Amino acid sequence: MALRTIRTLGDEILEKKCRDVTEMKPRLHELINDMLETMYDAQGVGLAAPQVGVLKKIVVIDVTEEGDDPLVLINPEILELSGEQTGQEGCLSVPGKAGIVTRADYVKVQAFDAAMYEFIVEGEGLLARAIQHEVDHLSGILYVTKVEGELITATQETEE
Ligand code: ZN
């Protein structure tokens, strides 16, 4: 495994749309492992492939304290959104900053895991926020375009 360089705001790759993963190849397993290592190293709760310069629909998320139960979503499709939450959000591609974003409070997603098995995951609260943030990355959308008011200096480690 290896740490990858996290692309930051201003890098045009962050605004491009990602392609579907059609087949799990060894180098994609390596990418997923590297993304997890890079996310944990940066103390983030989520990371999308374009943030490490790869335009593929892959995200990793871990909102748990222990950091041992990561979620890998390949080709995620949001099936359902409901409710509303307004709170602080950050992004590893916008280091040291945070902003207030309103998101759905519940999300249901269909995706493939690292073995390319299709599954469905539901999330609420922080998990729902992280999933929506990461899926946005795959469409080239950064949270800074959804911030209510100004970006502020981050006070907590919830970067995605
Ligand atoms: Zn992000």
Q: Is the pLDDT at 105 greater than 70, yes or no?
A: yes
Residue 66 pLDDT: 74
The pLDDT of 45-52, averaged and rounded, is 97
Number of folded domains that form the chain: 1
Which residue did the predictor score with more confidence, 96 or 65? 96
Residue 1 lies in a domain: no
Residue 4 lies in a domain: no
Going from the Cα of 137 to the center of ligand 1, the distance in angstroms, rounded, reads 7
Residue 3 lies in a domain: no
Percent of the chain as helix, strand, coil, to the nearest 5: 25, 35, 40
Answer left, alpha or beta for residue 138, where phi above 0 means left and psi between -120 and 50 means alpha.
Answer: alpha
pLDDT in tens, 55-70: 999 999 999 877 667 9
- Percent pLDDT > 90 in the chain is 91
Return the CATH number at 73: 3.90.45.10
Going from the Cα of 139 to the center of ligand 1, the distance in angstroms, rounded, reads 12
Neighbours of 151 (CB within 10 A): 16
Residue 94 lies in a domain: yes
Going from the Cα of 154 to the center of ligand 1, the distance in angstroms, rounded, reads 14
Catalytic residues: 134
Q: The whole model's pTM is what?
A: 0.95
Residue 61 lies in a domain: yes
120 DSSP β-pair partners: 110
Going from the Cα of 103 to the center of ligand 1, the distance in angstroms, rounded, reads 14
Which residue range is the domain that position 59 belongs to?
12-158
Residue 2 lies in a domain: no
